[in-house]
Amino acid sequence: MAVPKRKTSKAKRDSRRSHHKLTAPNLTECPQCHQPKLPHHACPNCGYYKGRQAIEVE
């Protein structure tokens, strides 16, 4: 089996991982209850989407 000749340097290893970061989700304000919610999703707090009750929330 092929074996690496040299240990991967810190710079090579770290630059490979430079795309591994996480990004925070985009949040918009619900026009109904003014809580943060994901865009293009029904609000998890009040269940409204496009100005009407889209899902039931107790």
Work out whether 54 is an interface residue with Zn ion (CB under 5 A). no
For the chain, helix, strand, coil in percent to 5 are 15, 15, 70
Q: Letter for the amino acid at 28?
A: T
Q: Which one among 14, 28, 29, 33 touches Zn ion, defined by CB under 5 A?
A: 33
Among 5, 16, 25, 30, binds Zn ion (CB under 5 A): 30
Verify binding: residue 55, Zn ion, rule CB under 5 A: no
Residues found in the chain: 58
Residue 42 makes contact with Zn ion by CB under 5 A: no
Distance CA 13, CA 37 (A): 37
Residue ranges in contact with Zn ion by CB under 5 A: 30, 32-33, 43, 45-46
